[in-house]
Chain A
């Protein structure tokens, strides 16, 4: 490994550590990040588990609580990663970002630190929710749970990357919230998170199939044994591609506009 690459990796690690320190030192953020999934977990596990049943792959039925879990995981990831991307705007407003931009590290190292820091927190929230799986009728294997965690991490990376690319152009946190909600909420609603895609009209199904968040949701749901509308391999390849593409997009945007 050449010296410059090693230096960039160490710098990215130091910046990632900073993201985690900032998270821990904001008690309200810690409380919200743990409290939100716990509340959702309780509602799903005890409240909606038997509200109605969804048809499964092999003729068996899946409770709505089970069906909804991957969608709630995806939604939690979206909210958490929006916070991670907003930190870029805060860094700019507080003056910290400029001191990073004039350092000799490459743009990808800046993006990597934000993405890893944000994805770590979002994945932690996802894990808390995934612990609900056995209590609401899902029986994922250890590998299945691991797969869901990995898919959650990839989803987090993708959405933080997308958020960073947008945050680079937006000056206010309120404006950023608005733009991201306008973009991400329809993506989430059309990801199959609330209702199965099977049986929907062809045009809606086409939109859902082209939605990257549908691939992420399917990778998480498929790992947990919840029926999905696309082949698992397609879901995984789509999720990995989405994460890589959004990471690259953020790196290019920040690299191009850095000077």
Chain B
């Protein structure tokens, strides 16, 4: 099970690896290497990444810190350029000067840190964003009220951002990114630092905005939380600068084969002796394998009077099966 594969997304690419026309984002064998500095050696952030995101799709990019997620997103956001490979974003290929401007006018980006001025009010921040994308003042006022209402921040429009809670600041930042009605919304670990309740509220609002959007809204979101990744219509798993597999979350789990057995870490040896592969050892031990292996593990655990449960695999199990690494680890690129 411990194989690392370079996955070519067959469903998203036409014959010969040529991106389908009209895709929101198309990467072909993209490579990005950060040069060595006095403090750090050279690092391959993206290694032959091919990926196509259809318009209206919600792609979650799941991977641990250092797997290349943020670099991939920065290239799509026009803040970084690949060393080699092809990039087409919203039909703009090559990303020269004119193409970059065209892309920037049609995307919204939510970064790990809110892109708002803490000394200014929410309204002032949103009006500033409107000016940056070339809206007239009257259009801007209308959009500010509409977006603020849809994200539940209307009553905080006149509050300084620095006085908002983390969850509210995130929602205000999402309002900023959605102000210009972007075709493509990029979110780089947008719930980092939020408590579980604030995370759920944020993601629910994001889902609702996508449904309410008049034109198809394409979302690309990086995360290292499985539950967040499950919100996407498709998930790409990244490890060491590569996309190791991608597909619908349910299909990825199904492809792992049957159920997995979860028990306490100290009983991990029973899972292995039943012929299962350990996809996780902490905080619980998880074993995946054939239905026969699962049955043998159930018998062994019952005999040992060890507590256990049997259920479908998670994306963390899928990740382990493809990389041999755990999702909560730091994936160092080669």
Contacts and interface: CB of A to CB of B under 8 A. Distances in A.
A100 interface: yes
- A contact face: mostly helix, strand, loop, or mixed: helix
Contact of B104 (A14, A25, A95, A104): A104
Given A14-B128, A102-B77, A96 B134 contact: no
Interface stretch (A15-23, A61-69, A192-200): A15-23
B120 A21 contact: yes
B90 interface: no
A37 B62 CA distance: 55
A99 interface: yes
B109 interface: yes
A242 B23 CA distance: 48
Contacts of A14: 127-128, 131-132
Contacts of B95: 259
Contacts, number: 79
A26 B200 CA distance: 35
Interface string B64-103: 0000000000000111110000000000000100001110
A99 B101 contact: no
B114 A95 contact: yes
**Which of A96, A99, A104 counts the most B-chain CB atoms under 10 A from its CB?**
A99
B134 A99 contact: no
Contact of A98 (B79, B81, B101): B79
Contacts of B101: 104
B253 interface: no
Nearest to A93: B113
A22 B121 CA distance: 11
Contact of A102 (B81, B109, B118, B134): B109
B132 A96 contact: no
A11 interface: yes
A51 interface: no
Interface residues of A, number: 25
Interface in B128-176: 128-129, 131-134, 176
Given A14-B128, A14-B131, A22 B79 contact: no
B127 A96 contact: no
A104 B133 contact: yes
B79, B129, B132 interface centre (most CB from chain A within 10 Å): B132
A10 B131 contact: yes
Interface of B: 77-81, 95, 100-102, 104-105, 107, 109, 111-120, 124, 127-129, 131-134, 176
Given A98-B109, A104-B134, 18 more contacts: A11-B131, A15-B131, A22-B117, A95-B111, A95-B113, A95-B115, A98-B115, A99-B115, A99-B129, A100-B132, A102-B79, A102-B107, A103-B104, A104-B104, A104-B133, A259-B79, A259-B80, A259-B81
6 contacts: A11-B131, A14-B132, A18-B120, A21-B124, A22-B119, A98-B109
